[in-house]
């Protein structure tokens, strides 16, 4: 019998059952025999520090280590997540002629989990168990909620995010100090913009400005690809008015800010409550730092300043508490919650049920449609060390499920960009959707999640 060995990269832990995909990975991520691809511009390297021990609950025999991404994106990730991370770098570089079938090692058989498809189609309400919450999430909202906001400003209901206080779910490496001059200048300048003239449906010409690290009208493309993907059983998507905002090259760990920008992109485009706070469109990272500091001044989750030592002009990580503080200070209703592992449910299953319930509230399940496009806002989503924006929920034909996300760590692939504004026909939709799916294989590694709706 032949010995089936999964092809792997000789320079890093990446592997895939498709040898062609591994070859593409080596060519893309290690073009010079193990070195990451050259940067698009020269900058001083980030100062290197040894990661501090994780403050989160881990197994006693854990050997978790952090490494710099060999692709050169500037992210520091765990060795266990490196293969997934590099896999997504391949996905972000896909062109249409590359989008043939491929089986990723991260789409292999999932661990045994309850079938949740019947729950989703059941008329009963979901109940997300909070038993076992003594593990806590990694920020304390009970202390910050006692601070009174400035007079005349209302506060929205707050979901408690645990009771451990000192921990920060968003940070996995030491707090970054003052940002270097080159990075501050890069953020002040922002991403490149371009203007195009388009013909509208009524035959008129219109001027359109696009930003290099922002992609509009991507949710409708994902909806069409899900319609074509035979492995998708039922899909729920948020409003198409949200943009995918990704980081700039060598930017570092500003994912929390980029997710806030995605939520703001929905608010401004939909003209929803609070849109008048953003007359100039989506605020920059530096402007968001000012808004968060001001929210702390007004008493919104002000313990964040004590925990971080302040964030203005720094590369320090932010998370769900900072996003919540910003929106509450602007009078924008939001609800924060924590989902943790319990005695009878894994954390990722509680996450699935919570997100499914959120989208189900805006849909009629009596409808036989496969893909539901809603007008719901996207969801700010945090797990240990990283945050994303949830744009949808998907049930698969094998009764497993996954989240659909915009990940600020990865840019929109050329293949997806070319499908915007078209019928989005694809012979292999699953490969194009790969960058937006976060499955059980990925999520089950985490014991705590935070959501901001």
154-164: per-residue pLDDT in tens? 333 334 554 33
For residues 433 and 91, what is the distance between their CA atoms, to the nearest angstrom? 9
Q: Are residues 281 and 332 in the same domain?
A: yes
Q: Are residues 323 and 431 in the same domain?
A: yes
Residues 9 and 22: beta-carbon distance below 8 Å: yes
Q: Are residues 124 and 84 in the same domain?
A: no
Q: Are residues 169 and 303 in the same domain?
A: yes
The pLDDT assigned to 1 comes to 47
Residue-averaged pLDDT of the chain: 74
Residues 34-49 have a mean pLDDT of: 36
3-state secondary structure the chain: CCCCCCCECCCCCCECCCHHHHHHHHHHHCCCCCCCCCCCCCCCCCCCCCCCCCCCCCCCCCCCCEEECCCCCCCEEEHHHHHHHHHHHHHHCCCHHHCCCCCCHHHCCCCCCCCCHHHHHCCCCCCCCCCCHHHCCCCCHHHHCCCCCCCCCCCCCCCCCCCCCCCCCCCCCCCCCECCHHHHHHHHHCCCEEEEEEECCCCCEEEEEEECCEECCCHHHHHHHHHHCCCEEEEEECCCCCCEECCCCCCCCCHHHHHHHHHHHHHHHHCCCCHHHCCCCCCCHHHHHHHHHHHHHCCCCCHHHHHHCCCCCECCCCCHHHHHHHHHHCCCCCCEEEEECCCCCCHHHHHHHHHHHHHHCCCCCCCCCCEEECCCCCEEEEECCEEEEEEEEEEECCCCEEEEEECCCCCCCHHHHHHCCCCCCCCCHHHHHHHHEEEHHHHCCCCEEEEEC
Domain-located, residue 183: no
Q: What is the pLDDT of residues 98-156, one digit of tens each?
A: 555 444 433 333 344 555 555 554 433 333 333 333 323 344 433 334 334 443 333 33
Domain-located, residue 179: no
The pLDDT assigned to 184 comes to 84
Q: Which CATH number does the domain housing residue 123 bear?
A: 3.90.70.130
The pLDDT assigned to 196 comes to 64
Q: Are residues 35 and 142 in the same domain?
A: no
The pLDDT assigned to 443 comes to 94
Q: Are residues 328 and 419 in the same domain?
A: yes
Domain-located, residue 3: no
Position 362 pLDDT exceeds 60? yes
Q: Are residues 100 and 155 in the same domain?
A: no
pLDDT confidence tier of residue 350, bands split at 50, 70 and 90: very high
Domain-located, residue 412: yes
Question: Pick the residue with more confidence: 99 or 364?
Answer: 364
Residues 284-311 have a mean pLDDT of: 95
Residues 335-360 have a mean pLDDT of: 94
Structurally, how many domains does the chain consist of? Answer: 2
Q: Compute the C-alpha angle 233/235/238, nearest 5°.
A: 180
CA distances (Å), origin 97, targets 18, 127, 397:
16, 44, 27
For residue 59, the enclosing domain spans 19-107
Q: Which of 107, 134, 152 is the last residue of a domain?
A: 107
The pLDDT assigned to 33 comes to 54
Domain-located, residue 198: no
Q: Are residues 89 and 158 in the same domain?
A: no
Percentage of the chain exceeding pLDDT 70: 59
Q: What is the pLDDT of residues 200-259, one digit of tens each?
A: 666 777 666 677 778 999 999 999 999 999 999 999 999 999 999 988 777 777 899 999
Q: Which of 107, 127, 152 is the last residue of a domain?
A: 107
Q: Are residues 247 and 295 in the same domain?
A: yes
Q: Are residues 219 and 99 in the same domain?
A: no
Q: Which of 68, 88, 107 is the last residue of a domain?
A: 107
Domain-located, residue 4: no
Q: Are residues 145 and 33 in the same domain?
A: no
Domain-located, residue 186: no
Residues 40-46 have a mean pLDDT of: 32
For residues 257 and 238, what is the distance between their CA atoms, to the nearest angstrom? 20
Q: Are residues 100 and 218 in the same domain?
A: no
Residues 401-407 have a mean pLDDT of: 96
Domain-located, residue 407: yes
């Amino acid at each position: 019998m032949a010995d089936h060995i999964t092809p792997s990269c000789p320079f890093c832990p990446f592997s895939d059952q498709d040898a062609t995909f591994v070859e593409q990975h080596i060519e893309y991520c290690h073009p010079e025999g193990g070195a990451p691809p050259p940067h698009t511009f020269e900058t001083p390297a980030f100062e290197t520090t040894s990661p501090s021990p994780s403050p989160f609950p881990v197994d006693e025999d854990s050997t978790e280590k952090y490494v710099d991404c060999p692709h050169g994106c500037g992210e520091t990730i765990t060795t266990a997540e490196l293969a997934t991370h590099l896999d997504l770098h391949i996905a972000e570089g896909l062109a249409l002629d590359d989008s043939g079938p491929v089986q990723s090692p991260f789409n292999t058989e999932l661990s045994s989990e309850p079938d949740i498809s019947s729950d989703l189609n059941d008329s009963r309400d979901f109940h997300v168990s909070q038993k076992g919450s003594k593990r806590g999430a990694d920020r304390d909202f009970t202390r910050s909620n006692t601070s009174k906001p400035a007079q005349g400003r209302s506060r929205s209901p707050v979901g408690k995010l645990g009771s451990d206080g000192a921990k920060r779910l968003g940070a996995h490496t030491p707090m970054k100090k003052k940002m270097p001059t080159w990075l501050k200048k890069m953020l002040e300048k922002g991403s490149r913009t371009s203007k195009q003239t388009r013909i509208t449906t009524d035959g008129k010409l219109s001027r359109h400005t696009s930003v290099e690290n922002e992609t509009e009208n991507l949710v409708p493309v994902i909806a069409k690809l899900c319609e074509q993907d035979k492995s998708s059983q039922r899909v729920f998507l948020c409003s198409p008015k949200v943009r995918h905002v990704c980081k700039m090259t060598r930017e570092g760990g500003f994912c929390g800010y980029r997710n806030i920008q995605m939520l703001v992109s929905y608010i401004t485009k939909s003209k929803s409550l609070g849109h008048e706070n953003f007359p100039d469109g989506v605020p920059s990272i530096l402007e968001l730092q000012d808004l968060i500091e001001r929210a702390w001044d007004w008493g919104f989750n002000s313990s964040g300043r004590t925990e971080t030592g302040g964030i203005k002009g720094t590369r320090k990580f932010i998370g769900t508490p900072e996003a919540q503080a910003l929106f509450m200070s602007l009078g924008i209703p939001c609800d924060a919650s924590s989902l943790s592992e319990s005695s009878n449910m894994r954390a990722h299953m509680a996450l699935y049920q919570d997100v499914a319930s959120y989208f189900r509230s805006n849909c009629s399940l009596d409808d036989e449609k496969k893909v539901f496009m809603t007008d719901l806002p996207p969801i700010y989503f945090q797990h240990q060390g990283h945050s994303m924006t949830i744009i949808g929920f998907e049930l698969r034909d094998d009764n497993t499920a996954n989240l659909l996300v915009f990940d600020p760590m990865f840019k929109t692939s050329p293949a997806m960009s070319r499908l915007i504004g078209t019928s989005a026909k694809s012979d292999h939709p699953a490969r194009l959707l790969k960058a937006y799916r976060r499955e059980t294989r990925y999520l089950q590694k985490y014991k705590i999640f935070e959501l901001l709706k």
